[in-house]
Amino acid sequence: MNIEEKHKLATRWFHWINFPILSLMIFSGMLIYWSYDPYRIGIGSFTLIHMFPDWFYDVTHVDHKLAYGMALHFFLAWIFALNGIAYVIYTIVSGEWRELAPEAKSFGEALQVMKHDLGLKVPMPPQGRYNAAQRITYSAIIVMGGFSLLSGLAIYKPAQLRWLTALMGGYEWARFEHFWLTMGYVGFFGIHIAQVIRAGWGNLRSMVCGYDIVDAESSHAK
């Protein structure tokens, strides 16, 4: 048995700052979205789910708080953006991006990881800090964060940042993208929490203190 560093101090700070901020960004985003909620899942005239159904608003009480939602959103956005930009710079400068960015083989391996995680008798491919599925998912989440920031700015100042709004496909498209990226985070969050529970206490602890106990022989070479 030995203890091994799993996550750097900086990474852990970025992660645990982002978690409550992104949660509150989604919450304040809901307060804003309520006052004009055109999106749905459906085809043609058939609507499977209206985003969001009345019962959802009844349960969450996000109604009639547009002004508060906007003020909150435009404060938290500073922290979300600065924390995210600092993380990206750190990851590039420290070289940690090498352990995070998907490799050519990641896409094939990710399928294997998924089958393994779903309980099929498929061996886990050898991995570094992150497995192939994690590499793809975590990298995608960072790219999505960048798009959330850009589409958000495109909605926030479509006159002064007209070029950015145009780049996002126009004002309405920017709002559409901003919304569905957020739904992407909600989906990610569900899977992420399930995986954290599955992985157990040692894994969660390593995201807080940075270290985990490993068997000497399974300790991967740095």
Give the nearest distance from C-beta 34 to other proteins in angstroms: 9
Give the nearest distance from C-beta 74 to other proteins in angstroms: 6
- Does 66 interact with other proteins (rule: CB under 8 A)? yes
Q: In the set 49, 71, 124, 191, which binds other proteins (CB under 8 A)? A: 71
List Cα–Cα distances, 146 to 16, 77, 140, 143, in angstroms: 18, 12, 10, 5
For other proteins, give the closer residue by CB, 109 or 212: 212
Site for other proteins in 157-176 (CB under 8 A): 157-162, 165-166, 171-172, 175
Give the nearest distance from C-beta 107 to other proteins in angstroms: 34
State how far the Cα of 26 lies from the Cα of 16, in Å rounded to an integer: 16
- Does 3 interact with other proteins (rule: CB under 8 A)? yes
State how far the Cα of 94 lies from the Cα of 116, in Å rounded to an integer: 31
Interface with other proteins (CB under 8 A), residue total: 37
Q: Which residues, in sequence order, are bridge partners of residue 40?
A: 50
Residue 210: closest CA among 22, 15, 1:
15
Which residues have C-beta within 8 Å of that of residue 202, sequence separation ≥ 6?
212, 213
Site for other proteins in 10-39 (CB under 8 A): 12, 16, 20, 32-33, 35-36, 38
Give the nearest distance from C-beta 68 to other proteins in angstroms: 5
State how far the Cα of 214 lies from the Cα of 216, in Å rounded to an integer: 6
